Structure 1
Amino acid sequence: MTAVADLAPSVSDDPDARHASVSERPLSGVRVVECAVYIAAPSGGMALARLGAEVIRIDPIGGAPDRGRWPVAPSGESLYWAGLNQGKRSVVIDLRSERGREIATELATAPGPDAGILLHNRARRSWLDDASLRRHRHDLVHIVVEGLRDGSPALDYTVNARVGVPYLTGQADGAGVVNHVLPAWDLLTGATASTALLAALRRRDRTGLGALARISLEDVATAAMADLGWLADAQLTGSDRARHGNQLFGTYGDVLTTLDGQPVMVIAMTERQWHALQAATGTTEAFASLATTLGLELDTEEGRYEHRALISAVLARWFAEQTLDDALEALRRTGALHAAYGSLAQLARELARPGTDSVVDLVDHPGIGTVLTAGSPVRLSDVESAAMSAPRLGQHTTEVLSGVLGLSHAEIGRLLQDGVVAGEAA
């Protein structure tokens, strides 16, 4: 199901030639040690694993707090955990013991040009202090994901509350706050962490210098609010932006309902999209007449935004006379920007059909079964991007301790017996 996109002009369009040019994934050989829970840091590590890095996830004995987080499969295994740990290697270590922390430190600071890379979200753990770690490897690439900028704990939803987004979300006549169900700041922070890691690794390759990079959810969220101009707008106006419900801010976009009661999102951000929407709905003359009679400027984003209620009132009559299928066909025919609303269940059924071209594929996960699983959304022209399964907890403990640290089977056996490390549960 997962396709390889041809993004490079130098790669032939011939399928056989493309297949012959497929190379190893770009981060093959890079080893990242991850000591993290929940979404932000693990999603950053998974992005690197999808691009070929060997990501060794260290969990405490029995698993971290996210081990059983919902949603779960009928077997009780966490789909959440499996989804955020695809393609990683799982090592279980008693991080409360001195010897366990020593082993984790040795893994994080192991020698090699593509090793000595640590990603974690446990900033307040003394054994993960940068100065202490750097005594073992001076050029360590050390990426720390935090909640708040000062290192205090926070989650996506508390950071979202701090930056004011819930006051912008919801219906125009609604009261109170509305949280966003998508943990966007977690995911953006994970992407930022993986970018920072690669930038630090690139610098180390050129200069031999290590790096400590701290990325907080608070900073990522605040920076995004500034980048979009929202902070500057609040600063200059001295007030909060009004809620618009399902309407877009600063342009025309709204949800309109068809004859059979189905919602459709339509957007006219550009002039071309605006004319395509009018052509699809047969309202070109009506809007021209309104513009002339009332002196409206509807060919600009500002004009459409100012008169959005009038535009929706005119368009609503057309949608109310069309079935969903007829409306979508008319919108497709003119190239109007639109989308029908679908549920997660509908999407899952669609993507599970054999032969579907998508970023997801059906993959067998231990203890879960065959479920829809994403490959890398980065589609390199000469690299296969296949979805991968998550490891079983502790699946690679023995293999990693032997292969990375060179411990003998007898040494590993003693560590297992003493409860310093744990392997895969029977």
Structure 2
Amino acid sequence: MGALDGIKVLDLSRVLAGPWATQLLADLGADVVKVESPKGDGTRGWGPPYIDGDAAYYHACNRGKRSMIVDLKSEEGMTILHKLIQASDVVVENFKTGTLERFGVVPEMLEGKILCRITGYGQTGPRASEPGYDLALQAMAGIMSVTGPADGEPVKVGVAWIDVLTGMMAGNGILAALFHRERTGEGQTIDLSLYDVALMAMVNQAQNWIASGADPQPMGHAHPNIVPYQAFLASDEWFILACGSDLQFANVCKATGATTLQRDALTDNSGRMAARAEIINTLSTIFKTHSAAHWISELNQVGVPCVPIQSISQAFTDHQAESRNALWHLGDQVSVANALRFMSKTPAVPSLPPPKLGEHTQQILSDWLGDE
């Protein structure tokens, strides 16, 4: 039995943030109905590559759902939408601000329900009416100003970072709202924006600015607050050294023979921050004398996190990923597993493969609305 068995989720969202949130809920047992226009979610065509006629992008965030076609431009479609809302426990939408109201959805329809509204900038504020896309929000929220090499061109994160985080925050908010409803019977609205999530996710970089008044700068693969904590080039390839404590730094010096760095001024992180250039230059010279595999072995033996830089295929075929079943098999399809699969009582589990457009329309009309 899933933690959300019996919870009906109406997914009116498209693209990534909303569908990612509802996929997480489906993995936890919710009955998720994905409402699509006759043309379908646009991500179905965001290929190649394709899987069974739909883009891999669509498959990444629509597992465990049923799909139905509803033409929201028609009067019949509006009637069906209103009935679906009344039959649901949770509604997730990412329309432009004001769209749901134009569809005739009134507060009375949402009594006791959870409404999660995902937009680029929120339901209020001077930018509320502006559309929001992950790349645009990466630019607006500051992440691109601290990503990539110093003095290089702007660089975005290699995955739709803000959409993914927004979907996870939506899932958190919905679960909290369901718990509140369980205790009080009250529903509520969640006004969630990609912008708010992106600003929240700036974490230490934002706090660095608050504390110093200075804008953080891009540092490539280096860390703004810890040294040495970055990529280094060995004799054959790059690897990562993540030295996060004073003891680990002492062990780095011992393992590498960096005797010039074994002095009192560098025993704490503030001292190492002041001597960043010296430390990085010294270690860079030493690391080029042996292979990445050599240094990864040597440093891990003394308790210092040190790992290769893997491709996506290498990451998913790593013995750790394989031992923890990082991929789920849904019939003849493969899907990236939910990280909550190790909950001891109500783990996330795979159910349905991503649905074909309108695959379950009649079924949903029957079991949600009672239509024959």
TM-score, normalising length from structure 1?
0.79
Greater RCO, CA 8 A, separation 6+ = 1
| In structure 2, C-alpha distance between the alignment counterparts of 1:140 and 1:384, rounded to whole Å | 25
| In structure 2, C-alpha distance between the alignment counterparts of 1:305 and 1:129, rounded to whole Å | 55
Q: How far is the alpha carbon of 1:280 from its aligned partner?
A: 2.9
What residue number does 2:304 align with? 336
* Partner deviation per Cα, 1:12-44 (whole Å, 9 max, x = no partner): xxxxxxxxxxxx121111111011111111111
Kept after mapping to 2: 8 A contact 1:130/1:142: no
Residue aligned with 2:45, SS? coil
Q: How far is the alpha carbon of 1:208 from its aligned partner?
A: 2.0
What residue number does 1:108 align with? 85
1:374 corresponds to 2:342: no
Residue aligned with 2:266, SS? coil
Unaligned ranges ≥5, structure 1: 1-23, 409-426
| In structure 1, C-alpha distance between the alignment counterparts of 2:31 and 2:268, rounded to whole Å | 50
**1:367-406 alignment runs, 5 A limit:** 369-377=332-340, 379-388=342-351, 389-406=353-370
What residue number does 2:197 align with? 220
Unaligned ranges ≥5, structure 2: 123-127
Q: How far is the alpha carbon of 1:103 from its aligned partner?
A: 0.8
Kept after mapping to 2: 8 A contact 1:101/1:127: no
**1:1-400 alignment runs, 5 A limit:** 24-73=1-50, 76-110=53-87, 115-124=88-97, 126-128=99-101, 132-149=105-122, 150-174=128-152, 176-225=153-202, 227-228=203-204, 230-234=205-209, 237-252=212-227, 253-260=229-236, 262-283=237-258, 285-288=259-262, 291=263, 297-350=265-318, 356-364=323-331, 369-377=332-340, 379-388=342-351, 389-400=353-364
| In structure 1, C-alpha distance between the alignment counterparts of 2:340 and 2:45, rounded to whole Å | 26
Kindly tell me the number of residue pairs found equivalent between the two proteins.
Answer: 365
Percent identity of equivalent pairs: 26
| In structure 1, C-alpha distance between the alignment counterparts of 2:235 and 2:110, rounded to whole Å | 67
**One-letter identity of the residue aligned with 1:29:** G
**One-letter identity of the residue aligned with 1:202:** F
Change (3 A) 1:64 1:53: same
Change (3 A) 1:135 1:351: farther
Change (3 A) 1:209 1:31: same
* Partner deviation per Cα, 1:309-350 (whole Å, 9 max, x = no partner): 211222223321212222221122112112211112333454
Q: How far is the alpha carbon of 1:384 from its aligned partner?
A: 4.7
Change (3 A) 1:240 1:216: same
| In structure 2, C-alpha distance between the alignment counterparts of 1:180 and 1:191, rounded to whole Å | 17
| In structure 2, C-alpha distance between the alignment counterparts of 1:352 and 1:300, rounded to whole Å | 33
Q: How far is the alpha carbon of 1:205 from its aligned partner?
A: 2.0
| In structure 1, C-alpha distance between the alignment counterparts of 2:328 and 2:61, rounded to whole Å | 15
| In structure 2, C-alpha distance between the alignment counterparts of 1:54 and 1:322, rounded to whole Å | 54
**One-letter identity of the residue aligned with 2:309:** Y
| In structure 2, C-alpha distance between the alignment counterparts of 1:140 and 1:185, rounded to whole Å | 26
Residue aligned with 2:342, SS? coil
Residue aligned with 2:192, SS? strand
Change (3 A) 1:338 1:254: same
Residue aligned with 1:91, SS? strand
Q: How far is the alpha carbon of 1:215 from its aligned partner?
A: 0.2
| In structure 1, C-alpha distance between the alignment counterparts of 2:243 and 2:140, rounded to whole Å | 32
**One-letter identity of the residue aligned with 2:365:** L
* Partner deviation per Cα, 1:245-271 (whole Å, 9 max, x = no partner): 2211111112111222x1011021212
Kept after mapping to 1: 8 A contact 2:141/2:198: yes
Kept after mapping to 1: 8 A contact 2:340/2:347: no
Further displaced range: 141-150 or 373-382: 373-382
Change (3 A) 1:271 1:305: same
Change (3 A) 1:131 1:271: farther
**One-letter identity of the residue aligned with 1:90:** S
Alignment root-mean-square deviation, CA: 2.5
Residue aligned with 2:50, SS? coil
Q: How far is the alpha carbon of 1:137 from its aligned partner?
A: 4.2
| In structure 1, C-alpha distance between the alignment counterparts of 2:95 and 2:151, rounded to whole Å | 42
Kept after mapping to 2: 8 A contact 1:34/1:119: yes
| In structure 1, C-alpha distance between the alignment counterparts of 2:36 and 2:103, rounded to whole Å | 20
* Partner deviation per Cα, 1:92-151 (whole Å, 9 max, x = no partner): 1112111112112211211xxxx4310110144544569834323422211100011324
Select the structure of larger CA radius of gyration: 1
